[in-house]
Structures are given as C-alpha cells and as structure tokens.
Structure 1
Amino acid sequence: MRTSLRLAACLVLAAPFATGWAQDDAQMVRGKYLMEGVVACANCHIARGDKGQPLFDKGMSGGMLFEDAAFKARAPNITPDPETGIGKWTNAQLAKAIREGIRPDGSVIGPPMPIPFYRNISDSDLAAIIAYIKAQPPVKHVVAKSTYNFPLPPNYGPPLAPVQAPDAADTLKYGQYLANIGHCMECHTPRDNKGMLVTSRLGAGGQVFPGPDGSTTLSANLTPHENGLKDWTDAQIAQTIRTGIDKNGHHLKPIMAFGWYKNINDSDMNALITYLRSLKPEPS
C-alpha cells in the first residue's frame, strides 16, 4: 500500500469558483505558463505511444498507466471532449476535482493524483489553469477506469479558506509555493512501509518509479546534503531541471517532466532553487 496513503486533506471549493470568472488574456497567459511549466499536468495526462513518447497531437487525452501493488490507475482524459473528457464539467466542478479530489458525480479521485500538494494552488492560479484546460482542443479518447486494492476515503478533510499565493518578492516562500504546486516533494521524499511521506526527510529522494517508456528510476536527493545538491551550482541545478541532463552529463528518465520544466522562467527557477537550498540536509 505504498501509495495508498498519499491521500490527505485537500482544499474545498473556494468562493471565486462558485459563479465562474471572466477569462482575460492575462489569465490565459498565466494558465499557459503554469501548465507548460512547473505544474506540468501534461506530463501525466498527455496521450503516449507504445514506448512512452508523448503524442502531442492527441493532447491531454490521457491513458498513461500507473501501476502499483495498491492500484492500477490510468491518467484520465482532461480535454474538453463532452463525452470522454471534462467538456461537460463546470469551472467549479473542475476546480473541486483538482483541489478536493472529488468528481462531479461525487466519486473520489485516488492516487497518483497529488491532491495533498494541489491543495496549495492559489485561487487565481487555479482559475488560470482551468481556463487553459478549457481552451484546449477536445479529443475523444475513452480511458479505462482506475482500480484500487484499498478503500478510498469519502472526502479529503474539512473545508479550508480560499488560498492566495505568497508574494513573488519573497523568494523563499514563493519558491516553496512553486515546489508545492509542482508537487516536487511527492516524488522526491522517502516513504515509509505504509506509504506515508517521511516529512522529516523532505526532499531526500529514494522513491522508485516506473517510467512511461518501461524503465524505472530512483528519485534524486534534492536537499543540500553531500548526497544531494550540496556541491551543485545554481546553474547546474537549473540545467538539470530544464534539460534532464545533470552536471555529469547523465540523462534523467522521462518520468521527470523536463519537457515542460524547460519553460520555467529565470525568476521562478531562482525561487525554486532558493527553496531547495533551504531544506534540511538529509542523506539519500
């Protein structure tokens, strides 16, 4: 049940989504930047070929398999197709699914959707993400339902207040915000034998993941430890995140979303790195 306990308290629907919002150019620009950068939803939801290669012409129509001892899940179609995607979902329903993990029919979204981290997405950024998703071409693609060998919870905890992002001028706090909505620590933190994130060792890596190409990868240590990023320069860290090639020329496996992280701007990259350097040094 390694991943069964990834489920945790999540945000409830914030007031701005109850009646919708006026889409504007700035919102679409922000949504595009987030989705094609640090949030990287398409890393899981994009359709993929037999060898795991992204099929960009089929958009975020889903199908990628995540298999674990506790579940067999496939990323759903999140294009605006009315029959096989989210085309009939309202903005409020989509917001609730992303931050609460609850679909319009009341069913619960299970792992590997990183609800505990998406609960940190600000109201304005969530609105921008939804605007981007709704603006994508609809793709008809039926995806098999996920199955779980454990009961999903009826909900994800008590209601929480609306969320605001930290001021981007506060580099450390904003870097933590970006790491949260990009769910970096979902993969880069060890888990105990019950599947719980060992938060006392945040960022120490060590999780094993099957990649979309059939390979497996071990998540890296992102803390400023000797086994982690202590001897890395900021430029080396940024290069690795954006290109998937580390300072030694080693190519990272495709489960890492460097195909999208390449679009993270310099200011946000600096904030992310500032946050990583603030983590408690932990051995791998």
Structure 2
Amino acid sequence: MRSDYLGFSCLLSAVILQATAVLAADDDVLKRGAYLMNGPVACGNCHTPVGPNGPDLSKELAGGTPFDFPEFMAFSANITPDPETGIGSWSDDQIARAIREGIRPDGTVIGPPMPIEFYRHLSDDDLKAIVAYLRHLAVVKNEVPRSTFNIPLPPNYGPPIVSQGSPSPDDKIAYGGYLVAISHCLECHTPRGSDGHLDMKRAGAGGNSFPGPWGVSVSRNITPDLEDGIGSWSDDEIKAAITTGVRKDGTHLMPPMAFGYYANITGGDLDAIVAYLRTLPPQKTTN
C-alpha cells in the first residue's frame, strides 16, 4: 500500500505540472491559483476522493473523503462547479467567504477539518486566484454525505474580513509563516484539546492519528525540539520530508501528508517555510 501511494505522488506531480502549464498560459491569476491549489494549499489532498491506490484524479476536488474522529465524522465537500452537488451556483464572493471565513451561502458554519483559522490569513490576491482555479475545474456530480459533529461549532471564526494582504517574500520568516498558515501545516501537526479544538499552545507538537486506506498514520512533531522534533534536521532534510515524503532516516511518510502536492512548492517558498518552522517554540510529543 505504501509503495502505491509513493508511486502515485510522482504521477500526481507530473500531472499537476502539465495541468499548471496549460491552465496558466495567458492568465497570471489562474497561474497563481493553479500553483497554490496544486502546491502549498493542496486542497485536493482532502477534497479529491481517495481509493486504495491513491486519489482519483478523474474526480478532482469532487469531495466525499471521510474524516472519522471522536470529535466529528466529516466528509470533504464537492468544490467542483457542479450546480447541484458542488459550488457551481455560488458567486465568487460566496466561495471566497466560505474559504476564508467558513460561512456557506446559507449562513451555516463549516466545521473541521476545514482549516478556517489558517485560511483567514489568505491574502485577497491569493483568495481571488484560488476562486479562479475552482471556476476552471471540470464539473463532477458527486453527492456528499452530511458531516456530523460531537463538538460545538463556533457561530463564526472571527469578524468579517474586509481586506487581507500578505508579507513580502523578502521577509523570509514572516512570509514563511504566511505559507505555513495557508498550507495548514499546524492543522494536522497540532494536538487537539479536550474540547476537540486545536491546542495552539502546543503548536506543531504532533501526535494526531489519521486513519485511512493507508492504515493509521500519526503526525510528527515539527517543532525545533532536538529529541522529539526536527531541531537536529538540516534544511535539506526538512525539505525532502515535505516534498518527497522521505524522513531523515530514509523511512517514508504516510498520507495524509500531502507531499505529492508539496513537491510543486518553489525553492524560495520552501526556504521560507523552513525558516519559519525553525522559529516555532520547541515542544515535547506527549500524545
């Protein structure tokens, strides 16, 4: 099973690069959207249906992936332009609000594992680019089951966002923090508290279990702790784990780590991500 997923990640990278080149030929906004969606933001890692041999690219972003946790039984939404089972009837502003604020057009709140707390950092320009990419997807009709939650959902994730910028890439650590946020790294790598919500006091400490067709994987500690985290890893070793799924010791990471998508992150963006991870407070893994 593991080798099937590793082989798929190589195929996915090739398909994504080809699709990006075609989609982005004459449109800088769409080019940025393709990069974000098929690189750092990696929406397909959750929203593309997964089978025993990996994601089904014929149903890109058609949803239905289950997330079975004690706190919730969630299914990823169909975010293709299908007007009945997807988001084809939503306006651009409604799509943008759902992504960045977690509010659907009918006013209901989107629950976890959709990482709204992190997507609130998306800049106006990047959000526009993502919406443009979603508009260019193939329509896929796929009715997705309703998610159920054993934890209370907030009425909202914060006040409405009027406008949002992003740090300059010249500020490597600040821009790296932006990339880590929109890549929602800490959504998986941060333990959840007794209330079912992320314990940000232990950001990056890992220890969450993720069942799936691959078996059960556990998110690792990505803080600079020298024993439990990645403090003893070189920059190149961290980048290899992110983009190829190969750890420092040569063993392979398991899904849902999105290395098939992260392989498309540019060298400069990877440098910024690593620089930011180095600034996280060291944590011990207790889960």
- Compute the TM-score of the two structures, normalised by the length of structure 2: 0.86
Cα shift at 1:210: 1.6
Deviates more, 1:115-124 or 1:198-207: 198-207
Question: Secondary structure of the equivalent of 1:178?
Answer: helix
Match of 2:39 in 1: 37
Match of 2:224 in 1: 224
- Alpha-carbon separation, structure 2, partners of 1:148 and 1:191: 15
Matches within 5 A, 1:119-138: 119-138=120-139
Question: Secondary structure of the equivalent of 1:272?
Answer: helix
Aligned residue-pair number: 259
Verify the 8 A CA contact 1:71 1:148 in the aligned structure 2: yes
Question: Secondary structure of the equivalent of 2:54?
Answer: coil
Give aligned-pair identity as a percent. 52
Higher relative contact order (CA 8 A, sep 6+): 1
- Alpha-carbon separation, structure 2, partners of 1:28 and 1:167: 21
Q: Which amino acid aligns with 1:195?
A: G
Pair 52,145 (structure 1): closer, same or farther in 2 beyond 3 Å: farther
Q: Does structure 1 residue 243 correspond to structure 2 residue 254?
A: no
| 5+ residue gaps, structure 2 | 1-25
Cα shift at 1:283: 1.8
Q: Which amino acid aligns with 1:44?
A: C
Q: Which runs of 4+ in 1 moved over 3 A?
A: none
Aligned CA-pair RMSD: 1.4
Question: Secondary structure of the equivalent of 2:242?
Answer: helix
Question: Secondary structure of the equivalent of 2:122?
Answer: coil
Cα shift at 1:214: 4.8
- Alpha-carbon separation, structure 2, partners of 1:157 and 1:238: 33
| 5+ residue gaps, structure 1 | 1-23
Cα shift at 1:123: 0.6
Q: Does structure 1 residue 179 correspond to structure 2 residue 180?
A: yes
Matches within 5 A, 1:1-284: 25-49=27-51, 51=52, 53-211=54-212, 213-226=213-226, 227-284=228-285
Question: Secondary structure of the equivalent of 2:198?
Answer: coil
Verify the 8 A CA contact 1:52 1:214 in the aligned structure 2: no
- Alpha-carbon separation, structure 2, partners of 1:230 and 1:153: 35
More helix by share: 2
- Compute the TM-score of the two structures, normalised by the length of structure 1: 0.87
Question: Secondary structure of the equivalent of 1:278?
Answer: coil
Q: Which amino acid aligns with 1:140?
A: K
Pair 154,230 (structure 1): closer, same or farther in 2 beyond 3 Å: closer
